[in-house]
Amino acid sequence: MNPRLTEKLAFLLLRAVTWLIIIVLGVVIWDIFSKGLPAVNLGFLLESPRRGMTAGGIFPAIIGTLYLVLGTIVFALPIGVMTAIYLVEYARESWATRLIRLAVINLAGVPSIVFGLFGLGFFVLFLGFGVSLLAGTLTLALMTLPVIITTAEEALRAVPVGYREASLALGATKLQTVFLIVLPNALPGILTGSILGVARAAGETAPILLTAAAFFLPQLPGSVFDQVMALPYHLYVMATQVPNADPRIPYGTAAVLMILVLGLNLAAILLRIYFRRMRRI
Amino acid sequence: MKLSGGNPLAGTEMDLSPAKRSAGQNPRWRQPRALLEKVVETGLFLAALTGVVTIILIFLFLFKEAVPLLLAPGPTASLTAKNWYPVSTPPVFGLWPLIAGSLLVTFGAIAISVPLGVGAAVYLAMVAKPTVREFVKPAIEILAGVPSVVLGFFGIAVLAPLIQDIFGLPTGLTALTGAVTLAFMAIPTITSISEDAIAAVPGKYLEAALSLGATKWQSIVTVVVPAALSGVSAAIMLGIGRAIGETMTVLMVTGNAGVIPDSFLVPVRTMTATIAAEMGEVARGSLHYHALFVVGAVLFIMTFMINLIADLISRRLKKGA
């Protein structure tokens, strides 16, 4: 065949493949929002489920997911950023450093259900936290850790070496240089990465399935040792375990979860673009 | 890029102002400061060990909870059986149907996602106009952000009835349904990493091929993509790792039948779905409970190997560059 014609056909095929992916994404989003958004109103957002979950709203699930996400940030952000600072600013090439890097890479590849099993074995049973907000939060935090470490490392490395040298040349100590010069400059990148990590945690079901999530709770959790409802688990339950449910409830739950997760993703992407522009000026 | 105005740290250890700095050069100041430096460095090191400790604990607790089953002779013998009947008497914990289910769904997902994902990567890196690329790449990143439980719900509500109708099946919850949904979870990983690898191939490779009279397509196929092959392979391995470890979508859309599947159009049960579905109902400490940890340990080892291979490939890439 004529090479020009082959090229035309090949490029056409590549373009079709790319658009196929975008169209499927569009269909998923359109389906969830067109059927879910009409179900979302103030009552749906602010009421508890009623009549064996076949009616009512998803308020406890929204609050539960917010608790889990906040807890994940509280545990994962400091430890993740500290790990990244150690790896970028302090660590010399040694077996300990190599071990830490290897652990982070492997942690990123551990399936979410294995994190769930580990959370069940360690936090729920061994440490005696029970199926609780605390156990779920810690499990999610460990799962989010590699994302935060990797992005924080990238952000720290992107700070020019000249900044550090200038600071040290002015007589600042290493500590002052790291925390007053390097860290503030890396903050936008760290922030973006953390939001992406947390967005992933908000949508995860498997890790909290065994460690934190409750099928139905009439009231909000009173302490960190209580079970919680959560949006992704509620969606799973409504889609598979409650046969007579009004289909608007799972669609509405899916829409709220998508708004939360995609909103966080969008915020991270916009933040990245914004900070990139700032840097160019 | 400027730091925040004012000096909120005046008078503290972190103060960088000239007055304080001269004090810092006073030998009396040096000692506590050196101590603080050491304390902070040690603290950071300890925080950095969290990841290592976590990996060790995951190993430890998976195997600690799996061992009791391996010590019981009857159930251990049943691990190689062809069925997973955990609640029959005596229970049969055959791992083959679960491993076969996971592999079948993963294989299907890869067969769909590799051509689509790598094709899109080539298009974005080599063919698309920059404006198209700026729009499509974030869109694919958004696909990566869709929670697996939402894709699973979409699979139940839309895809399963469609597959049931097209093939005239008794149920739409099949290995194929799982493979299609998983493919769309693996595509963002494959596309994003492959695109980076292809875009990183030096421009002169393409120019040299073009100047020898090759068309752009011939240059892409024979020069650019082979040069990026290790990055693309690493991307595919990571996609496989993601697909085999994915839980919620397969739990929701594959129908969960614990027998060795003989086609794509029957329900299957994966390792991940088995753990998620059954762990909530078993008695703590029962054989069934320990059997689920055996499944978890097998899954952990499989994903560990896959990620190791991906890491080796991408490290070879870095050395070669």
Instruction: Quick: pLDDT tens for B146-177.
Output: 999 999 999 999 998 898 888 888 888 888 99
> Beta-carbon neighbour count of residue B6 at 10 Å?
7
Give whole-number Cα distances, A211 to A217, A278, B104, B144, in Å: 15, 42, 29, 25
Task: Assess contact for B93 and B81: CB atoms under 8 A.
Answer: yes
Give whole-number Cα distances, B286 to B87, B272, B279, in Å: 11, 19, 11
Nearest CA among B319, B179, B138, B310 for reference residue B235: B310
In chain B, residues with a C-beta closer than 8 Å to the C-beta of A184 are: 3-4
Residues 126-165 of A with CB under 8 A from B: 126, 142, 145-146, 149
In chain A, residues with a C-beta closer than 8 Å to the C-beta of B139 are: 22, 25
In chain B, residues with a C-beta closer than 8 Å to the C-beta of A269 are: 138, 141
Q: In chain B, how many domains are there? A: 1
Which tokens is B113 given? 């996602």
Q: Is A3 on the interface with B (CB under 8 A)?
A: yes
Give whole-number Cα distances, A10 to A4, A5, A15, A158, B211, in Å: 10, 9, 9, 38, 20
Give whole-number Cα distances, B19 to A174, A179, B7, B13, B26, in Å: 19, 20, 12, 12, 12
3-state secondary structure of A119: helix
What beta strand segments (E) does chain B contain?
Answer: 84-85, 92-93
- Measured CA to CA, the distance from residue A61 to residue A208 in angstroms comes to 13
Residue B287: inside a domain: yes
Which tokens is B270 given? 């994966």
Residues 6+ apart with CB under 8 A from B302: B244
In chain A, residues with a C-beta closer than 8 Å to the C-beta of B146 are: 25, 28-29, 203, 258, 261-262
Nearest 5°: phi and psi at A172? -70, 150
In chain B, residues with a C-beta closer than 8 Å to the C-beta of A261 are: 145-147
Q: Judge: A116–B276 Cβ closer than 8 Å, yes or no.
A: yes
Nearest CA among A145, A138, A263, A250 for reference residue A193: A145
Q: Which residues pair with B92 in a beta bridge?
A: B85
* Closest chain B residue to A234, measured at CA: B149
* Highest mean pLDDT out of B87-96, B114-123, B234-243: B114-123
Position B300 scores a pLDDT of: 92
List the domain range (segments joined by +) for residue B154: 96-320
Average pLDDT over residues B22-39: 66
Q: Is A254 on the interface with B (CB under 8 A)?
A: yes
Position B23 scores a pLDDT of: 47
Position B4 scores a pLDDT of: 42
Task: Assess contact for B182 and B109: CB atoms under 8 A.
Answer: yes
Average pLDDT over residues A181-190: 90
Q: Which of A18, A100, A233, A249 to mutate to test the interface with B (most CBs of B within 10 A)?
A: A18
Question: Residue B50 is nearest to which of A31, A79, A247, comparing CB atoms?
Answer: A79
Task: Assess contact for B261 and B101: CB atoms under 8 A.
Answer: yes
Position A143 scores a pLDDT of: 93
Residue B275: inside a domain: yes
Q: Judge: B54–A145 Cβ closer than 8 Å, yes or no.
A: yes
Model confidence pLDDT, tens digit, residues A239-267: 888 777 778 888 999 999 999 998 998 88
Q: Judge: A232–B16 Cβ closer than 8 Å, yes or no.
A: no
Residue B45: inside a domain: no
The CATH classification number of A67-280 equals 1.10.3720.10
Nearest CA among B173, B194, B189, B179 for reference residue B125: B194
Q: Judge: B25–A113 Cβ closer than 8 Å, yes or no.
A: no
Q: Judge: B37–A112 Cβ closer than 8 Å, yes or no.
A: no
Task: Assess contact for A227 and A221: CB atoms under 8 A.
Answer: yes
In chain B, residues with a C-beta closer than 8 Å to the C-beta of A247 are: 157
Which tokens is A162 given? 């000249």
Position B103 scores a pLDDT of: 92
* Closest chain A residue to B3, measured at CA: A184
Amino acid at B173: L
CATH number of the domain where residue B265 is located: 1.10.3720.10
- Nearest CA distance, B265 vs chain A (angstrom): 20
Q: Judge: B51–A265 Cβ closer than 8 Å, yes or no.
A: no
Tokens 């936008």 sit on residue: A188
* pLDDT band (50, 70, 90) for residue A115: very high
Model confidence pLDDT, tens digit, residues A48-106: 777 666 677 788 889 999 999 999 999 999 999 999 999 999 988 888 888 898 899 88
Task: Assess contact for A137 and A72: CB atoms under 8 A.
Answer: yes
Cβ-based contacts under 8 A for chains A and B:
283
Q: Judge: A261–B55 Cβ closer than 8 Å, yes or no.
A: no
Residue B297: inside a domain: yes
Question: Residue A28 is nearest to which of B149, B154, B191, comparing CB atoms?
Answer: B154
In chain B, residues with a C-beta closer than 8 Å to the C-beta of A176 are: 14, 16
Residue B140: inside a domain: yes
Burial A241-261 (b: 16+ CB within 10 A, else e): ebeebbebbbbbbbbbbbbbb
* Closest chain B residue to A200, measured at CA: B145
Give whole-number Cα distances, B272 to A37, B105, B305, in Å: 31, 12, 17
Which tokens is A102 given? 């290897």
Residue B46: inside a domain: no
